[in-house]
Structures are given as structure tokens and as C-alpha cells.
Amino acid sequence: MATPLQIDSRLEDEGSAVLALSGEVDVSNTAQVRDAGVKLLTDGATRLVVDLSGTEYMDSAGLGTLVGLLKRVKEAGGAMAIAGPQPRVSRLFEITGLDQIFSIYQDLGTAMKEVRA
């Protein structure tokens, strides 16, 4: 009975990848998010965009998972960005100060362009 979440992970060109999270990210499903993100990295991605445009809710467990992915990406010398968070999720980044840690862009296209730069 994990919280409804759809994860779409895909490798793209130039070592880039998209991890799209649709639905609700909370403590019941962050392990799935972590596993999907780590698989993209072990499959060769060094530039990761997490698409949150379809994310309706996220809690601190979800944020912690994203921080873990960011740490892995940075240790590998790569880049990571967040794309399209809805206001509710944006606010979570702001009140935790993580908007100062993550590169956050309004849409997926801009985020992809930035991580590839």
C-alpha cells in the first residue's frame, strides 16, 4: 500500500538522464526513488535531471533521497538539476534551504540544457 507514485527513468544522450516522479513521494516509496536514481547512475549517467513537474507531494524523506543522489552525482564529477517543481514542492525546498543547494529550473528543457552545459 505504498503511496501512489509513478517513476519514469530514462537514459538520454551525452551521459544525461531523466528521473521523472509523478504522484506523491513520501517515506513509503523513497527507496524506489533511490533505487531508480542509483540505477541511472550505475548505467552511466553523469548528468541527472529529476523532473518534479508531476510531483504532487514530497516530504523530508523524499528530500533526503534527492540529497543522497546529489551527493553521488557530485562525487562522480557530474551534475544534477531539479525541473519544474509545483509550488507546493518548491516551498518545501525553500523552507528547508535546499533551494540554495540544488539547481532548480522551471521546466525540463531548461534543466537538461543546463546540466549538459
Partner 1 sequence: MKDEVPSQVELRIPRSCEFVRVARKTAGALAHQLRFTLPDVQDIELAVGEACTNAVEHVGEHCPDILLLFSHT
Give the residue, chosen from 53, 57, 68, 103, that forms a contact with partner 1 under the rule CB under 8 A: 57
Give the residue, chosen from 15, 22, 28, 67, that forms a contact with partner 1 under the rule CB under 8 A: 28
| Shortest Å distance, C-beta 1 to partner 1 | 4
| Shortest Å distance, C-beta 3 to partner 1 | 5
3-state SS, the chain, equals: CCCCEEEEEEECCCCEEEEEEEEEECCCCHHHHHHHHHHHHHCCCCEEEEECCCEEEECHHHHHHHHHHHHHHHHCCCEEEEECCCHHHHHHHHHHCHHHCCEEECCHHHHHHHHHC
By the rule CB under 8 A, 94 interacts with partner 1: no
